[in-house]
Structure 1
Amino acid sequence: MIITTANAQKEVLTNVSNILYNNRSINSIWSEDVLYWATNKDYFYQLSNNIFYRKKFKSYGIMTKYNIKLDILFSLFYEILFRPVDKIQQHILQYKLKQKNSHIICAQIRTGKNPTIPDDKVLPGRRNISESIFSFIDSNNSNINSQIFLTTDNEQVYYEARQRYGSRLLYVSGEITHLDRSLNVHQKVCREQDKLLTDFHLLGEICDMSIISNSGFGFWGNLRRFKPFEQLFVFCAGRIYKIESMWHLYKMREQNKHGELC
């Protein structure tokens, strides 16, 4: 059985929430041997309050419900479940060693529909995102000697950054792709994942300061940082917000029509 938030009916998702709130297991409604469930972050809060699953989490060293949080569990399970192939690991190591003693500012700039990914969706709130983020970086004199690591879905943003920062710019060469939005002609997107995977890992491993879009790629990549909310900033609706916790992120989205304006 496969359940995802994209294809599940609303009453199914509500039913799952009720099950978890009532301290029952998912097995009480679905008894299949294999249950593939893709729901992003929908049930973290309910799981943290469910005694049945809290006992299971203890086997991973997570002793209280207060530790069953996105910023703890995502990075934990990602490291347990995923390991880049050797080629990607070499790319990551190359950048980490090259900039070992540098202060690095990471900028993850997702513009939405653009000539690089023409089949992407239009994101009106991102019209001035690159200039806003670059100006934010430049406004602090202490950043003048920092290296700027850039990951973006728009090649034009890369050209802007290269002209602006020159040798200070860190950029992984390769095909710019979006797993969900790029047109997958002849399985090109499936083949061209080296840059995307390297960028994702570097977002979690080299950043002293992170400025990200309100996007899943930036959000999940940032959660792999040792201190994900240290010097974290998020662009939303023409502004850059300082985010110090998940609560600050939720409030930012709430103030902007639950992220729709971002």
Structure 2
Amino acid sequence: MTQTIESKNFIALWEPYDDVWISTNGVYVSAALRNPFVNSSRLLGRLPLTKATQQLLFPFLFELLFKPTRVVSQGVEKILRTKHKQLTCLHIRIGRNPSNPHDPVKPTRINMTRKMLDFLYDNPCLAWTEDTLIFVSSDSDQAVKEVLPYFPNSSITVPGPIIHIDHVNKKQARKHDREKNCAGLIKVLTDFYVLGECQATLLSYSGFSIWANQRRTNPNDKLFMYDDRL
């Protein structure tokens, strides 16, 4: 598939079909931008694709194609209206825990919350300056409860049930009431949008927060990663 998208006229190849199903994690975007049949075009008649990158295209296309619902927008605005000059965001992806018992086990992340707090202590400009607001997003309710007391007057999170929308199968979903599932989805989407508004970001390695971070105006500015794979 990568070879087709990178070097062949896949638009002509797929034109006879009404639907073409592709499941991708982003690799095909870079391949398509190298395709000689595609990169001579202009996006929306303006941006030459020869000058495009995945980092440039993602926030542009995301904002063009997706609009948050009113309830998600209200949740984001509530946090952004909270008094602050710097929004420092933490995304703590623990893996299997009481909040998400069906998640994959990530044993190297057991002490990650504590290590992230230690990092903030060692870098006070990220957390301890006047008018800094700490936003916490996590797949673990315990991780959130561990962080908030350290910043009792300057931290915030999105309330609601924690669900992992990628790992909930239909059988499991039927066991939960619809109201809880909807509230969990609203929380996930609100978290995603807020993570794209931060001035400083401390992330665990997670596709969710990495893509959310790409929405930032300067995604590599004050970006710090906790990588348990090293």
Q: CA deviation at 1:55?
A: 3.9
Task: Report the TM-score, using the length of structure 2 for normalisation.
Answer: 0.88
Question: Does 1 or 2 have the higher relative contact order (CA < 8 Å, sep 6+)?
Answer: 2
Q: Secondary structure, in 3 states, of the residue corresponding to 1:105?
A: strand
Which amino acid is 1:171 matched to? T
Alignment of 1:138 onto 2:130: no
What residue ranges of structure 1 are gaps of 5+ in the alignment?
Answer: 1-15, 238-260
Distance 1:235 1:97, change over 3 A: same
Cross-structure match for 1:41:
26
Identify which of 85, 94, 100 aligns with 1:102: 85
- Report how many residues are paired: 221
**Counterpart Cα distance in 2 of 1:60 and 1:125:** 47
Alpha-carbon separation, structure 1, partners of 2:75 and 2:118: 29
For the residues of structure 2 that align with 1:236 and 1:98, how far apart are their CA atoms?
30
Equivalent in the alignment of 1:78: 62
Q: State the partner residue of 1:92.
A: 76
Aligned to 2:210: 219
CA offset at residue 211 of structure 1? Answer: 0.7
Alignment of 1:34-73 (within 5 A): 34-59=19-44, 61-67=46-52, 69-73=53-57
Give the partner amino acid of 2:5.
L
Instruction: State the match for 1:6 in structure 2.
Output: none
Partner Cα distance (1:17, 1:196) in 2: 31
Tell me if the contact between 1:147 and 1:168 (Cα under 8 Å) persists in the aligned partners.
Answer: yes
Alpha carbons 1:25, 1:53 under 8 Å: kept? no
Please list, as runs of the form range in 1=range in 2, the aligned pairs for 1:241-252 lying within 5 A after superposition. Answer: none
Instruction: Tell me if structure 2 keeps the 8 A contact 1:108–1:150.
Output: yes
Where 2:224 maps in the other structure, the secondary structure is: strand
1:209 alignment partner in structure 2: 200
Distance verdict in 2 for CA 1:114–1:57, change over 3 Å: farther
The reply on whether 1:125 has 2:108 as its aligned counterpart is: yes
Q: Which runs of 5+ in 2 are unaligned?
A: none
Q: Quick check: 1:109–1:213 contact (8 Å CA) kept in 2?
A: yes
Amino acid paired to 1:235: Y
Structure 1 residues 173, 186: CA separation in 2 closer, same or farther (over 3 Å shift)? closer
Change (3 A) 1:119 1:154: same
What is the deviation of 1:18? 2.2
2:162 to 176, 195, 215: 176
Q: 1:236 aligns with which of 211, 224, 227?
A: 227
**Contact preservation (8 Å) 2:92, 2:137:** yes
8 A contact 1:108–1:212 mirrored in 2? yes
**CA deviation after TM superposition for structure 1 residue 102, in Å:** 2.3
Match of 1:199 in 2: 191
- Per-residue deviation, 1:44: 2.0
Question: How far apart, CA to CA, are the structure 2 residues paired with 1:112 and 1:30?
Answer: 41
The percent identity for this pair of structures is 27
Letter in 2 for 1:126: R
What SS does the corresponding residue of 1:73 show, helix, strand or coil?
helix
2:27 is paired with a residue whose SS is coil
State the shift of 1:26 in Å. 4.5
CA shift for structure 1 position 17: 2.2
Moved over 6 A (4+): none
Distance change in 2, residues 1:58/1:195 (3 Å)? closer
- Taking a change above 3 Å as real, the CA distance of residues 187 and 66 of structure 1, as seen in their structure-2 partners, is farther
